[in-house]
C-alpha cells in the first residue's frame, strides 16, 4: 500500500501527466510494452480519417500533389528529436530495408569489407549486416553484447569499414556510449551506423554531436506511429551525395515522372527512398512524431528516468525471489525499459498478462518492462512490480505450460 501511495503522489506531481489524455487508454490493464508497440494517439485517428475519407476518397490520384514528398517532410520534423539537421532524415521503407541500404552504401564507400556489430544486436540487424559483409567479400565481426568503446577499439582492423550497433540494447535496455564508440570507429577509419529503434522518442539522441555517419530506426515503438509504420534513415549531410544506396527505385530518381531509361539519383536525402510510401501509416507516424516533439525530449527523459528508478527501487524493496535486474542502475547507461531475468521468465510473462500487466518476453529468460513517459504512470509501475513479486512468490506462473506462443 505504501508503494501505491508513493506512486500516486508522483503521478500528481508529474508535469507531463496531461499527455496521457492524448492516447486511447484501456483502464483494465497496465501496458508496459510500448518498447514493442506504442499506444494509439487520439489525434492519429482524426488524421488517418482525413486522409482516407477526404484525401483518398475525393482527391484520389490528385492527392499525390501533397503526398509525394511527405517522407522527407516528416523526416525534417523527426530530425530534431534525433539530433540531426533538416535534409538528413527520411521516413521510408522498414528498418531492416533501411539498414541494408545505408550499411551497403557505407561499406562500399569505405573501400573495405568487414563490419563490426555485437552478439546481442537485434537479429534482423545481424542477418542484414552479415549479408552486406558477405556480399563485399568480407566478414561480420562480433563484439560481446553491449560493447564498450575499448572493446570496439580492440576489434578495429584495416579491413573494417563499418561499425553498426544499437544505441539501446533491445534485450538489456543498456544504452551505449555513443560519442566514444563513434570516435573509436572513426579512429580506425570506419563509418559509424547507429540503430535507434529503442532510442528515438525514448532517450536523447544527438547524431550530429556524436559525429555519427548513418542511422536507422523505427517509429512504432516510443514514437507511437502504429503497427508496421515506416522506419527512418539518417545520412550525414556530407555523405549524402558521396554514397550510393544499392536499390535504385523510381522514388529516388532526380526526375521521377520523366520515366527515364537511366537512373539519376536525386540530389538530397530523397535518393535513399526506394518505392512508393504507405501514406496512411506514414501520417500516423507524423502525428506520433509531432506529439513527441511537443512534449520535448528533455521532459520525456526526466520522466523516463524517474519511472525506471521508481520501478527498480520497488523491486529492491519487494525483493522477489530469484529475479535478477539486467538493466543498468546507472542513468548514463539506461534506456527507457527495465529488463529482469528469471529461469521461468516465459511463464511469468503469461501470468502477468493474466493479472492485467502487459510486458513482453525475450528468450531464454528475460521479461522486459517498457516505460513510455508520454502515457505510463508511476501507479502502473507500482502495480507491475507488485504483481511480479506476488507471481514469483506464490508460484502462480505454474498454472501455465511452457508451450511458446507465436508472439511473446
In order of their start, the domains of the chain are: 2-31+297-399 (3.90.1150.10), 46-294 (3.40.640.10)
Q: What is the pLDDT of residue 402?
A: 87
Q: Identify the CA nearest to 170 among candidates 206, 130, 123, 213.
A: 123
pLDDT of 408: 78
Tallying the residues shown for the chain, one arrives at: 408
Q: Which of 31, 122, 234, 251 is catalytic?
A: 122
Q: What is the pLDDT of residue 49?
A: 98
In the set 31, 220, 272, 310, the catalytic residue is: 220
Comparing 121-135, 186-200, 245-259, which segment has the lowest mean pLDDT? Answer: 245-259
pLDDT above 90: percentage of residues in the chain: 95
pLDDT at 20 exceeding the cut of 70 = yes
Catalytic residue from among 14, 146, 177, 195: 195
**Residue 342 pLDDT > 70, yes or no?**
yes
Mean pLDDT of 291-309: 99
What is the structure's pLDDT at 27? Answer: 85
Answer whether residue 404 shows pLDDT above 90.
no
pTM of the shown model: 0.97
- DSSP per residue over 27-38, as a string? TTSEE--TTTSP
pLDDT at 407: 82
Average pLDDT over residues 308-320: 98
- Average pLDDT (207-231) is 98
Instruction: Return d(Cα 263, Cα 85) in angstroms, integer.
Output: 27
How far, in Å, CA of 77 to CA of 336, rounded? 22
pLDDT of residue 223: 99
Q: Which of 368, 378, 389, 397 is catalytic?
A: 368
List, as one string, the DSSP characters of 84-132.
--TTSEEE-S-HHHHHHHHHHHHHHHHT--EEEEETTS-HHHHHHHHHH
What's the whole-number mean pLDDT along residues 30-58?
Answer: 98
Looking at residue 358, its pLDDT comes to 98
Evaluate if residue 140 carries a pLDDT over 80: yes
User: Given this model, what pLDDT does residue 200 score?
Assistant: 99
204 C-beta neighbours (distance < 10 Å), count: 14
Please pick, among 221, 236, 266, 347, the residue that the annotation labels catalytic: 221
Q: What is the mean pLDDT of the chain?
A: 97
State pLDDT tens for residues 162-179.
999 999 999 999 999 999
User: Confidence class of residue 405 from pLDDT cuts 50, 70 and 90?
Assistant: confident
Q: Please say whether the dihedral angle defined by the alpha carbons of residues 54, 59, 61 and 67, taken in this order, is positive or negative.
A: negative
d(CA 345, CA 323): 9
220 catalytically annotated = yes
| Residue 77 falls in the annotated catalytic set | no
Stated as kind and residue range, the H or E segment containing 362 is: strand 360-362
% of the chain with per-residue pLDDT over 70: 100
Say if residue 1's pLDDT is above 70: no
To the query of whether residue 195 is one of the catalytic residues in this protein, the response is yes
| Angle, CA of 332, 338 and 343, to the nearest 5° | 130
Amino acid at each position: 500500500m505504501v508503494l501505491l501511495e508513493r506512486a500516486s503522489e508522483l503521478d500528481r506531481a508529474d508535469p507531463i501527466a496531461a499527455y496521457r489524455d492524448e492516447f486511447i487508454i484501456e483502464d483494465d490493464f497496465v501496458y508496459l510494452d510500448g518498447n514493442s508497440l506504442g499506444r494509439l494517439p487520439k489525434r492519429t485517428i482524426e488524421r488517418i480519417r482525413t486522409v482516407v475519407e477526404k484525401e483518398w476518397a475525393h482527391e484520389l490520384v490528385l492527392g499525390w500533389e501533397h503526398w509525394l514528398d511527405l517522407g522527407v517532410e516528416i523526416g525534417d520534423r523527426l530530425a530534431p528529436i534525433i539530433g540531426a539537421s533538416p535534409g538528413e532524415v527520411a521516413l521510408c521503407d522498414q528498418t531492416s530495408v533501411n539498414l541494408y541500404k545505408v550499411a551497403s552504401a557505407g561499406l562500399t564507400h569505405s573501400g573495405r569489407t568487414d563490419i563490426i556489430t555485437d552478439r546481442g544486436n537485434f537479429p534482423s540487424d545481424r542477418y542484414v549486416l552479415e549479408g552486406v559483409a558477405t556480399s563485399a567479400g568480407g566478414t561480420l565481426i562480433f563484439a560481446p553484447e553491449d560493447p564498450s568503446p575499448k572493446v570496439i577499439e580492440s576489434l578495429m582492423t584495416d579491413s573494417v569499414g563499418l561499425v553498426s550497433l544499437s544505441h539501446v540494447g533491445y534485450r538489456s535496455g543498456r544504452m551505449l556510449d555513443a560519442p566514444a564508440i563513434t570516435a573509436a570507429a572513426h579512429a580506425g577509419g570506419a563509418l559509424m551506423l547507429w540503430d535507434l529503434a529503442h532510442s528515438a522518442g525514448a532517450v536523447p539522441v544527438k547524431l550530429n554531436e556524436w559525429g555519427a555517419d548513418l542511422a536507422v530506426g523505427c517509429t512504432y515503438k516510443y514514437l507511437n506511429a502504429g503497427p508496421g509504420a515506416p522506419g527512418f534513415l539518417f545520412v550525414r549531410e556530407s555523405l549524402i551525395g558521396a554514397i550510393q544506396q544499392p536499390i535504385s527505385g523510381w522514388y529516388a530518381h532526380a526526375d521521377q515522372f520523366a520515366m527515364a531509361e537511366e537512373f539519376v539519383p536525386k540530389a538530397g536525402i530523397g535518393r535513399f527512398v526506394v518505392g512508393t510510401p504507405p501514406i496512411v501509416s506514414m501520417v500516423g507516424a507524423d502525428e506520433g512524431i509531432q506529439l513527441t516533439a511537443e512534449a520535448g525530449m528533455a521532459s520525456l527523459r526526466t520522466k523516463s528516468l524517474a519511472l525506471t528508478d521508481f520501478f527498480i527501487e520497488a523491486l529492491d524493496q519487494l525483493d522477489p525471489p530469484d529475479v535478477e535486474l539486467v538493466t543498468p542502475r546507472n542513468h548514463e547507461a539506461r534506456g527507457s525499459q527495465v529488463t529482469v531475468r528469471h529461469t521461468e521468465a516465459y511463464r511469468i510473462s503469461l501470468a502477468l498478462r493474466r493479472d492485467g500487466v502487459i510486458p513482453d518476453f525475450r528468450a531464454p529468460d528475460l521479461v522486459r518492462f517498457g516505460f513510455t513517459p508520454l502515457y505510463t504512470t508511476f501507479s502502473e509501475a507500482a502495480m507491475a512490480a507488485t504483481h511480479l513479486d506476488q507471481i514469483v512468490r506464490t508460484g502462480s506462473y505454474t498454472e501455465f505450460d511452457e508451450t511458446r506462443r507465436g508472439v511473446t
